[in-house]
Amino acid sequence: MKLAIRHDTTYRYDDQVRASIQYLRLTPQESQRQHVLDWHLELPRPVPAQRDPYGNILHVLSLDEPHDSLLISAHGQVEIDTTRDCEQDSLSPLPFLRFTRLTQADEALRQFARRYCGAHRDRAALSELMFGLADAMPYSPGSTRVDSTAAEAFAVGAGVCQDHSHAFLACARSLGVAARYVSGYLFSDDSAHLASHAWAEAWIDGAWYSFDVTNGLTRAERHLKLAVGLDYLDACPVRGMRRGGSGEQMHARVQVSQQRVQAQQ
Amino acid sequence: MAREFYDEMYDGSGNCRSHYREFARWLAATPAEQLARRRQEADLLFHRAGITFTLYGDEQGTERLIPFDTIPRSIPAREWKTIEQGCIQRVKALNMFLADLYHEQRILKAGIIPAEQVLANDQYQLAMQGLDLHRDLYAHIAGVDLVRDGDGTYYVLEDNLRTPSGVSYMLEDRKMMMRLFPELFAAQRIAPIDHYPSLLLATLKSASAVDDPCVVVLTPGHFNSAYFEHAFLAREMGVELVEGADLFVRDEQVFMRTTAGPRRVDVIYRRLDDAFLDPLAFNPDSMLGVPGLLSAYRAGRVVLANAIGTGVADDKSIYPYVPEMIRFYLDEAPILANVPTWQCRKPAELSHVLAHLPELVVKETQGSGGYGMLVGPTASRAEIEAFRERLKANPAAYIAQPTLSLSTCPTFVEQGVAPRHIDLRPFVLSGRETRLVPGGLTRVALREGSLVVNSSQGGGTKDTWVVED
C-alpha cells in the first residue's frame, strides 16, 4: 500500500520566543515493512539528521533568533508492505523490559495482564490482552492528559492511543515481554481518528509484532512508522523547549491518503 | 557480641604500629588543653570556609558541618602501593567493561554476566550504544570504597562511577591539619595531595580530542548537598562553575553564556545525574539540565565526565562480577578483594539471606548514601521483619553481604579518645593514564559501634596520610 503524508505543525506564540530547541522525529526510515519513496522535512533552517538512541532519525532544530511562530512541515510518500506482520532486529530487545514513569505497571495493570495471558507469552495471548485493554479503556479524547501514566489512564478507564499503548507496554513488560512504543501515522477511512497515531510492538519469537490497541489491530498494515522508544517521551514526533513566548497555540494538520497506482501512459 | 576489629593505630598487644609512632609521640607530648583549643579552631575555620553539607530528608534543608576529626588515618607507603595498584586495576577493568558493554558485549557473549542483568538494568543507557568515546573512557573520575576486616585485609565495598563526591573534604582536611599542626608534617614524610585539582583538570582536558579544551563544572545548584564541592573544585581548577541555565546548545554544540557573548564548551565535568542532563531526552521535568545536550554529546561535540550510563557498572547487582571482569579484560588476578555477596535475585541465595538476616548487611542494588539498607546486627527485630517483607516483595532489588567488622581508628569523642569505625575512598582519575593522589577520603562513623560512615548518616572525616615508614 502506498501512502502519501503531509504533516504541518504550526506554533504561534503570544510573545516573542528568544530561543527554542526541538527534537524532531518526523522522518520515517527504511525497514523490512516500509519503503520510503520520497520524504521532505521543511524547517526554518536546514539541520543535519542524526540517529537518536533508539536508531530513529532525529533532527535537532535550535533557533536563537527571536521568533513568534514556528512552522514544521513533513511530507512524502511511503510504500507499506502489507504482507509482512513482523520485523527482525539485530539489537537486543532486553532494554525494552524496563518500566518508565509513564509505563510503570501498578497492581491493577499486573493483575489485568495475568488475567488475560496467564502463563502464555505468545501472539495470541497478547492479542487477547490488546482486545481486553481496548474494552477496559475505550477511546475517549480529553479523558487523559499528555503526561498521564499508564496506571492513571487505566484507572480512569478511558484514553487515547498514547494511553492505550502505555497500558499495553506496562502489561507486557510486567509479564516479562519486551515491548516498545511506536509513533507514526495511520491511514484510516474513518476520519474521526487523528492520522497521527501511536501503537505498541512486542518481542515474540525473535521479532517485533505490532499491537494497535486503539484500532484492535494485530497487523500494522495501515501504519507508517516514524519512531520507537520506551514510551511516548522517547518516540513522540516533536519534543521541544523554549525561552520566552509565554502562551502558545499549536496547530497540527495531518493528511494521510492512499495513492492509487497510476496506469502507465 | 564480641567482634575482632583491626585497629589502625595499635596492634593486638596494644603496641603502636610503626607508621603511627611519630604521631603517637606527638600526641602524648601535647597538652590536652592545647589539642582542645586547636579542635575548636578547626570547627571555626571550617564554618568560615563554608564546608557544610545538606542532609537529605531534612525538610529545612539545614546546612550542617561535617565533623572533622584531628586524629589522622595513617597508611604505610608500601601498603598504599598495593591499594593504589588495586584501584587502578579495578577502574581500568570497569572502564573496559563499559566500553565493551556499549559496543561488542564480549563479556555477555562469553556468558560471564547474564545479558538480561545488564541490558534490562535501568542504568544501561541505550544512548551510549555504539557511541565511541575519546580514549574509550567512561568513568574519568571514580571513587573506590575500601574497608578492612578483622585481620586488616582490604576489601572493596563498592565502586562509585557516577558522580563520586568527597574529594573536597580530602583536600580541606589536609589543609586544616597542616595549618593546625605544622610540626607533624615537619617531623615525617607525609605524601602530598594538593596537586589533585591540577590532576583533575589534566584528566578532564585529556578526555577531549580538542586542543586546550574549555572545561566547566556543571552543578545542579546550591540546593544540592555537594554544592560546596562543585564550587570548590571549579575554583581550584580555575574553570567556570555553571548551572544548566548557563549553557545552551546550538547546532549540536554546547555554549556557555558569558558577559562577552557565547563561549564554546568542550568538556563538562557534570555533577548531575544522567536523568537530569537533558530534559528533551530524559526526565522532561528537569530544570537542571541543558535541552539538546544529548544530541551534542552523541554528535561527539562535547565530552561529559563522567560519561552517561556508567551506573550500570557500579550497580550493586553488577559488583559481584568485578573480579571476573578483571580476569576477563586484563587477564590479571584481582589485587583487591570483593566482599562476598549474595544476589537476592537468585532463589537459593535469597533463602540463605532470609535465614540469616540478623547477621547480614542488606543493600538496595541501586541505593547509595547509606539509605535503604539493613545492618542486621544493629537492627531491631521489628526493623528486620519489615525489611524481610520488602526483600520478599522485590528480591532482585537487593544484595546481601556479611557484616564486616570495619577497622577502627582512635577518634576524639566527648569522653576523650576512643576507637571508631572507618572506611577509605581513594579517587581514581582516568585520562592519558590512570592515577591517584596518595590516600583519599577517610570517613568515620562517630556513633559508638556504628558501621555506617556516610556523612548523611552522622559520619565525619579524617585527614588521610600515606607515610614513609
Q: pLDDT digits over A123-141, tens only?
A: 999 999 999 999 999 999 9
CA B270 – CA A2 distance, rounded (Å):
48
Choose the mutation target among B251, B253, B257, B285 for the interface with A, i.e. most A CBs under 10 Å.
B251
B361, part of any domain:
yes
Within A175-230, where are the H helices? none
Contacts of A147 in chain B (CB under 8 A): 284
Residue of B nearest to A58 (CA): B295
Confidence class for position B450, pLDDT limits 50, 70, 90? confident
Residue B61 pLDDT exceeds 90: no
pLDDT-derived band at B371 (thresholds 50, 70, 90) equals low
Q: Domains plus CATH for chain A?
A: 2-81+237-258 (2.60.40.2250), 86-235 (3.10.620.30)
Tell me how close the Cα of B288 comes to any Cα of chain A, in angstroms. 13
| Residue B185 burial (C-beta neighbours within 10 Å; 0-12, 13-18, 19+) | middle
Q: What is the mean pLDDT of chain B?
A: 91
* Chain A residues touching B116 at Cβ < 8 A: 94, 97
Q: Does residue B147 belong to the interface with chain A, where contact is any CB pair within 8 Å?
A: no
Residue of B nearest to A176 (CA): B120
Q: Does the distance separating the beta carbons of B120 and A64 come in below 8 Å?
A: no
Structural domain range at position B356 = 340-403
| A64 and chain B in contact, CB less than 8 A | yes
Residue A92 forms contact with B (CB below 8 Å)? yes
Among residues B70, B131, B127, which one has the least CA distance to residue B300?
A: B131
Taking the CA atoms of A138, A144, A147 and A153 in sequence, report the sign of the dihedral they define: negative
Q: Does A23 touch chain B (CB under 8 A)?
A: yes
Q: Which of B205, B207, B227 is nearest to B215 (CA)?
A: B205
pLDDT for res B56: 45
Q: Check CB contact of B122 with chain A, cutoff 8 Å.
A: yes
Give B290-324 pLDDT, tens digit per residue. Answer: 999 999 999 999 999 999 999 999 998 899 999 99
A241·B248 Cβ contact <8 A: no
Query: Is the minimum CB–CB distance between B284 and chain A shorter than 8 Å?
Result: yes
In chain B, the N- to C-terminal Cα span, in Å, equals 35
pLDDT at B58 over 50: no
Q: Is residue B387 part of a domain?
A: yes
Domain assignment of residue B358, yes or no: yes
> Any chain B CB within 8 A of the CB of A156?
no
A60 close contact with B: CB closer than 8 A: yes
Residue B280 within a domain:
no
Query: How far apart (Å, rounded) are the C-alpha atoms in residues B257 and A144?
Result: 39
| Planar angle of CA B31, B34, B35, nearest 5 degrees | 90
Across the interface, whether the CB atoms of A98 and B279 are under 8 A apart is answered no
**Which chain A residues are Cβ-neighbours of B120 within 8 angstroms?**
94-95, 97-98
Count of domains for chain B: 1
| Sign of the CA dihedral with B163 first, then B168, B170, and B171 last | positive
pLDDT digits (tens, 9 = 90+) for B8-30: 999 989 999 999 999 999 999 99
Selecting from B119, B251, B299 the residue whose C-beta is nearest the C-beta of A95 gives B119
Q: Which residues of A are less than 8 Å from B124 in CB distance? A: 95
Best B119, B274, B345 residue to mutate vs chain A (most A CBs within 10 Å): B119
The proportion of chain A whose per-residue pLDDT surpasses 90, expressed as a percent, equals: 81
| Residues B201-248 pLDDT 10s | 999 999 999 999 999 999 999 888 889 899 999 999 999 999 999 999
Q: Return the beta strands (E) in chain A as ranges.
A: 2-27, 34-42, 49-51, 57-63, 67-80, 86-87, 179-186, 196-204, 207-211, 223-229, 238-244, 248-258
In chain A, what residues touch B279 (CB-CB under 8 Å)? 241
Q: Is B133 on the interface with A (CB under 8 A)?
A: no
- The b/e string for A112-131 (b: 16+ C-beta within 10 A; e otherwise) is bbeebbeeebebebbbebbe
**B373 phi and psi, to 5 degrees?**
-125, 155
Residue B55 has what pLDDT?
Answer: 46
Mean pLDDT of B75-94: 98
A251 pLDDT exceeds 90?
Answer: no
Mean pLDDT over each residue of chain A, to the nearest integer: 92
Nearest to A220 by CA among A209, A231, A228: A209
Query: Which of B148, B109, B170, B161 lies closest to B316, judged by CA?
Result: B161
Q: Is residue B399 part of a domain?
A: yes
What cell numbers appear for A176 in the block? 516479562
Q: What sign has the CA pseudo-torsion A102, A107, A113, A118?
A: positive
Residue B465 falls inside a structural domain: no
Residue tagged 582490604 (cell numbers): B154
| Contact with chain B for residue A141, Cβ under 8 A | no
Least Cα separation, residue B96 to chain A (angstroms) = 20
ipTM of the complex: 0.93
CATH (domain of B344)? 3.30.1490.270
- B103, closest residue in chain A (CA to CA): A91
Strand B267-270 to B303-305 pairing? parallel
Contact between chains at A98 and B121 (C-beta distance less than 8 A): yes
Contact B126 A64 (CB under 8 A): no
The whole-angstrom separation of Cα B301 and Cα A62 is 15
Q: Do A60 and B281 lie within an 8 Å CB cutoff?
A: no
- Chain A residues inside the 8 Å CB shell of B127: 53
